[in-house]
A and B are shown apart, each in its own frame.
Chain A
Amino acid sequence: MTNISNYILPVFLLIIIGFGLYKRIDVFAVFIDGAKRGFDVFLSILPSLTALFLAVQMLKTSQGIDIITKVLSPIANFLKIPVETLPMCILSPISGGGSLSIYESIISECGPDSYVGRVASVMMGSTETTFYAIAVYFGSVGIKKIRHTAICSLCADFTSFILAGLFVRLLFY
């Protein structure tokens, strides 16, 4: 079953190119024409990603996460979020790579089939990097005001963190 995900990408490509040929399109020329736009995207998101990565690196290297974890532990306990997953939850809205490496260490310490391991897996499987999305998408169109985006996205993330434990308890225990 894990292998299924390995077939998604090739089949996706097969459908796009196959359908293009079927419609008698010069797939090669059309592909190259579209690929040129990749450069504009690259240039338009670089500034906002630089800003994001500065903040992420500073938060990681200063070990500020430890301080936030300590402060938020009682709240996590109250909401039945396993404290082990807290650093991952805090980092996941700003850094996909950072939260993934914490996730890996949780899995190797607690085991993938433990309660904490399962909750962490569901959390990782149900969230995206909120501020990365904000930086990339708004950066690409040169918008600096984000209105209610961050609040609403963080509400969605928060929902995932609370519900992950609940659904794991309902389905497995």
Chain B
Amino acid sequence: MMNYIWAVIIIFSVVSSLLNGTSNALSTGIITSGNTAVDLCLTLLGTFCLWNGLMNVAEKSGITKIISKIMSPVICRLFKGIDKDSPALEPICLNITSNLLGLSNAATPIGIEAMKRLSNNNTNKTSPSNDMVLFVVMNSAALRIIPSTVAGIRASHNSANPLEIVLPSILVSFCALSVGIIMTKLTERFF
């Protein structure tokens, strides 16, 4: 799947650069893309260390256990391979909590830890389990309480009420998340 998507984007880009006469810009783009990826990863390296450290503290102190106790009835129903004692339960709950709070910098490294633990349960090492797919789908549909980036941009452009979009954003992302989860459950048997 990724195979085709990736190849199609690249081929399409080359063809459209010929049509648009932008092959010069495209060449620069290709060369700099590697640097952009490394720059981002380097920036994220600190974030990853920070949140892995905090996650470790939260886990050792047992606070993640409290959060996951609250969320486990819902999570265990969604993730069929997860029960109350699964090692993946705590990072999954913490990932959802940080997504809700809009801490996407925290959600990514914590989510990666969750993926690693989910993958330990996965018998097939090349293809993801249903739970792993569901987890990524839930992370790509963002349900958060305050979309702070958007509110910040609106405020900087003198919006009369930067936060008026909070309610529709929550409603829309809740619908999108539901569609994502339902689709995942319906289509998992075909892939």
B40 contacts A122, CB within 8 Å? no
A2 contacts B162, CB within 8 Å? yes
Compute the total of residue contacts between A and B using a CB distance below 8 Å: 363
B112 contacts A34, CB within 8 Å? no
Main secondary structure of the interface of A (DSSP, over half): helix
Main secondary structure of the interface of B (DSSP, over half): helix
Please judge, given known A-B contacts A39-B45, A57-B33, A60-B29, whether A146 and B180 are in contact too, CB under 8 Å: no
A12 contacts B10, CB within 8 Å? no
B153 contacts A150, CB within 8 Å? no
A19 contacts B61, CB within 8 Å? yes
B179 contacts A62, CB within 8 Å? no
B56 contacts A67, CB within 8 Å? no
Taking CB atoms, residues of chain B closer than 8 Å to A107 are: 153-154, 157
Q: How far is the CB of A139 from chain B (nearest CB, A)?
A: 9
CB-defined A-B contacts under 8 Å, sample of 13:
A8-B102, A12-B106, A31-B53, A35-B56, A57-B36, A107-B154, A112-B153, A124-B150, A138-B115, A138-B136, A152-B180, A152-B183, A159-B180
Give A contacts to B, CB under 8 Å.
Answer: 1-2, 4-5, 8-9, 12-13, 15-17, 19-20, 22-23, 25, 27, 30-39, 41-42, 44-46, 49-64, 66-67, 93-94, 100, 103-104, 107-108, 111-113, 117-118, 121-131, 133-134, 136-138, 140-153, 155-157, 159-160, 163-164, 167-168, 171-172
